[in-house]
Chain A
Amino acid sequence: MISNEPDLDQRLDRREAMRILLENRGDLLLVTGLGSTTWDAASVADDERNFYLWGAMGAAAMVGLGLALARPDRRVLVVTGDGEMLMGLGSLATMGVQRPPNLAIAVFDNGHYGETGMQASHTAAGVSLTGVARACGFEQAFDIADELGLREFSARVHDATTSLFASIAIRADEPPRVLPPRDGVLLKNRFRRATGAET
């Protein structure tokens, strides 16, 4: 049951969920997807170790995979929305084959396309992204509905021994936009500088 009335909807607040995922982040590297999860990350704090996608819908998880393979010494967290993940559904199969232990995918699932007018997504009709992830080979795939579960997942991101997947049920609302830099070259170069990327 979807409701836009916060007091009737007990699901997690997306900004609070992002804040919990980034608490004590240590040297965690973050990739966010187009578009609300990018604003969520910016609302916590802009950080040079965040790579925000402002486009290329469906790319977030695969950017995370390439980064995780390149940096086995660092933890990589991808936070994206249900619509963005649905557009890259095949990437779950690709990640399921690779399964680097330092990669975690967290989907903020509100069952809606928030950026385009709150149209219902496939997950609102019952498509289970966690089920897809599990079927693709993610041995640790979770449906998370409360803060306790989210905090457990957040801790696991830092010590997992296989790739993680979580679908996190969040309220379908639209908090005020907080916009990070959108110059792609700037975001790329500052990320590489801040994380000591070599090439």
Chain B
Amino acid sequence: MDELIAADMSDWRDGVFAALKAAHIRQVGYVPDAGHARLIELCRDDHEIHAVTLTSEEEGVALLAGAWLGGQRGALLMQSSGVGNCINMLSMTKTCRFPLTMLVTMRGEWAEFNPWQVPMGSRTQAALELCDVLVYRVDRPEDAAETVAAALDIALNGDLATAVLFSQRLIGAKRWVK
């Protein structure tokens, strides 16, 4: 945790990155996302991390299963809409008890301009819990790094699936008209 406290906390995403490094995360799968943009950039710039850009989030569930078979730890970055793409792949995570931590930026729950985001965003947590994924929400920036560290710990120590939902209020609603 000292590494987390020492990290530059001016942006909570830097704290999240420090938590990934402290947990020795070596593979990060992601679908490009505005809310995760800085975290993705930090992962891509880190020579110890394989940052793998995915066409669909479900690929990341399989990628990290393979990573674990090969002895590397991973994390999966996505937007709430991507959770819906992962459902059947999570059957492998559960059946084989692969550790998995998903970091999810929320859409469709706070001052959302685009109603097409609302159906998945409003059911993201319920969908994950139906799949036996343990869910933690982050609403305040000062909780982000600690929550990610805790979610990684419980996943890696218990061969379990966890997800951290970064609330839309935390990230800030997307500006559609400048």
Name A residues whose Cβ lies closer than 8 Å to a Cβ of B. Answer: 31, 51, 53-71, 74, 88, 90-91, 93-94, 97-98, 184-185, 187-188, 191-192, 195-199
Contact = CB atoms under 8 A, between A and B. Distances in A.
Contacts of B109: none
Interface of B: 24, 26-27, 50, 52-56, 58-74, 88-89, 91-92, 95-98, 156, 159
B59 A90 contact: yes
A74 B63 CA distance: 17
Contacts of B62: 56, 58-63, 66, 88, 91
A70 to B, nearest CB: 3
A198 B63 contact: no
B92 A197 contact: no
Nearest to A199: B71
Given A56-B88, A93-B55, A188 B97 contact: yes
A42 to B, nearest CB: 17
Contacts of A54: 95
Given A74-B70, A93-B55, 9 more contacts: A53-B92, A56-B91, A58-B62, A88-B62, A91-B59, A94-B59, A98-B52, A185-B159, A188-B98
Nearest to B67: A66
B96 A187 contact: yes
Nearest to B56: A90
Contacts of A98: 50, 52
B96 A188 contact: yes
B75 to A, nearest CB: 12
B52 A56 contact: no
Nearest to B58: A58
B70 A69 contact: yes
A107 B62 CA distance: 18
A69 B72 contact: yes
A157 to B, nearest CB: 17
Contacts of A68: 66, 70
